[in-house]
Structure 1
Amino acid sequence: MILSKGSEIVPISIAMCTYNGAKYIDEQLETILAQDYPLHEIIVVDDRSSDHTFKILEDWQGKYPSLFKLYLNEENLGFDKNFEKAISLCSGDLIAIADQDDVWMKDKLSSLVELFADQHVTLAHGASITLKNGNLHHFSGQLKRYKLFEGSDSRKLFLLNQLSGHNIMFRKSILQQAIPIPDFMPYDWWLALNATTLGEIKAVKRYLVHHRKHGDNAFFSKKRIKNPLTLLSRLLLFKQIQNLSSESRLFLDEFIAHAQQHEQAPTSKIDWHFFKFLINHSKIIFGHKKRLFPAFTFLTNSIKFAK
């Protein structure tokens, strides 16, 4: 039972995936261990690193044998499937995602866990700011560019993923519905959508993570395999999610119909039927973006996706 602030300690599992992360992993683990909220366990799944990442992890486990639980994959699973495995191994009531190369603020966990005093909250997230070459890029900070997603309106997540895994904490109970994660589906997107159907999402509107950007990062790497899922194939996967509200399901059916027609339309021209759908629902689809002239943003994004 998750109670109000100041009551019992809620068990929080940290789910971390590693792959050739030797350069930065010590610093990240130091910031996790320095949290001002007690840790239940740190689950780390290594995806067949070719550097000495796993040896570093074994050294940390030697220092904290009751805290660290290490797993080495028999074969490389890839970014999203490896995180699916890691969160499946967690035993805490709440699960927080950790990238291998970020820097956490000391109060990240304590700030997020407070939101779960509300029993309707299924997932909470904070904001991150880019750390590149050791320097913070404040213009890149999420709070400057986006309104952090809150609520339970699944429709807002059908076109664009608005939550980043390294910022989220969620109830383990949502995994009963969210696992397995479809192939090639970003795990954080899938978890967020499922969370909206089981309760609501809340946000801490502060920077809780310095998110490191570099060439070896699994997300930013130029060697990253392009996701083969098209808009239509993603929407069809979303249709499989249980407990979607009737409003969201009707919206999704209409979205799918337009996406099917759009895939058959000439790529050199604007699909005006799809454009009309996007512009009519632009506040839902693009409303998370902060712009001085929202109407212009709605227009340009509707054109972009209708091409």
Structure 2
Amino acid sequence: MKMDKSVAVLLCTYNGSKYIRKQLNSIISQTHQNWVIFASDDGSTDSTVEILQEYQRNYGEDKIVLLHGPGHGFAWNFISALELCGEKFDYYAFSDQDDEWMENKLSLALTQLENVQHQPAVYCGRTLLTDEKGATIGMSPLFDKTPSFRNALVQSIAGGNTMVLNKIARDIVIETPKWHEIISHDWWIYILITGCGGVVFYDPTPTIRYRQHQENIIGSNLTMFARIERIKKLMSGHFRRWNDKNLELLKPFESKLTLENVKILSSFDNKRNANIFSRISMIFEARLYRQTFCGNIALIVAIFFNKI
């Protein structure tokens, strides 16, 4: 029964005192109650740690565990917490400090993940977007194409704040070479788990309220302006550098990739830097794709102009 399954909730914090009580309360109010919060603070100078200590006193050290973040940025704070929380849990859920979970978030994630027993698996999905006061302002884009390695190499489809991993996936992710630069932990996990033959469940129904505010490290691409900015980054060379970093991180995992994904990776890695004819042939060999029509047009243009 999924109600018996244990969940490590990895709450990474940095100067999050403004909203962290709401997030803690939303985790505590989950319909699935077999959880332990591992709060990894990365050097807060506000009252974040004092709030965490208050909740630890109220709910007990067996339900809220405090960790010291590694001081290598938000992505490594999550992966460090994923390792430090230990291997005794069935599932591992990432949590940002300023969101709010809907009460059935963990239950819905576990219902999906329980269908996979012997493969790495990740649950993720859409988010309900709110303003600083918690009022709904929209939803993140809906993606309906099947999650896969072909997609993951060129696009991240869901925020880390929505992700829940099974233990097999967790054990793979914590092998990420320390302390290499990670562009985004959610994108990296999507690439790594699909590359290793894992299953990614993308939930079209939001299970978290994703707060949009000035302190957000990474915001939603809800507005047309934000989407245009992302396409500009793709064409300016940012995307090419991001791919360089992702491919560098993948090298130690090549023996874990499926045979099909090794071929896809080889075509992508070797031909993305080659002449125009090789780059065009890569489109047909690797069959990379993004989730939207406009995104695929931008991808083809980027390949043509050697921006990938």
- Which bracket does the TM-score occupy, shorter chain normalised? 0.7 to 0.9
Q: 1:141 to 1:174 in 2, by over 3 A?
A: closer
Q: 1:220 to 1:128 in 2, by over 3 A?
A: closer
Query: 2: CA distance between counterparts of 1:53 and 1:172?
Result: 29
The equivalent residue for 1:67 is 63
1:103 maps onto 2:108 in alignment: no
Q: 1:282 to 1:109 in 2, by over 3 A?
A: same
1:251-270, aligned counterparts within 5 Å? 251-261=264-274
Gaps of 5+ in 2: 221-237
Identity of aligned residues (%): 24
How many residues are paired up? 277
Query: 2: CA distance between counterparts of 1:148 and 1:127?
Result: 14
Query: 2: CA distance between counterparts of 1:228 and 1:249?
Result: 20
Q: Which of residues 160, 167, 174 is equivalent to 1:172?
A: 167
The equivalent residue for 1:265 is none
Q: TM-score, normalised by structure 1?
A: 0.80
1:172-251, aligned counterparts within 5 Å? 172-182=167-177, 183-185=180-182, 186-196=184-194, 197-220=196-219, 229-241=241-253, 242-251=255-264
Query: 2: CA distance between counterparts of 1:305 and 1:193?
Result: 19
Q: 1:220 to 1:50 in 2, by over 3 A?
A: farther
1:162-184 residue CA offsets vs partner (Å, 9 max, x unmatched): 23211111112323322232412
Query: 2: CA distance between counterparts of 1:101 and 1:148?
Result: 29
Q: Which of residues 279, 289, 305 is equivalent to 1:285?
A: 289
C-alpha contact 2:267 2:285 (8 A) present in aligned 1? no
C-alpha contact 1:128 1:210 (8 A) present in aligned 2? yes
C-alpha contact 2:176 2:249 (8 A) present in aligned 1? no
Residue 231 (structure 1) shift: 2.0
Q: 1:108 to 1:58 in 2, by over 3 A?
A: same
Q: TM-score, normalised by structure 2?
A: 0.80
The equivalent residue for 2:144 is 147
Q: SS state of the match for residue 260, structure 2?
A: helix
Extract structure 1 runs of 4+ deviating beyond 4 A.
Answer: 226-229
Q: SS state of the match for residue 36, structure 1?
A: coil
C-alpha contact 2:36 2:65 (8 A) present in aligned 1? yes
Alignment-mate amino acid for residue 136 of structure 1: T
Could you tell which deviates more after superposition, 231-240 or 75-84?
231-240
C-alpha contact 2:94 2:164 (8 A) present in aligned 1? yes
Gaps of 5+ in 1: 263-270
Q: Which of residues 11, 15, 21 is equivalent to 1:16?
A: 11
Residue 237 (structure 1) shift: 2.8
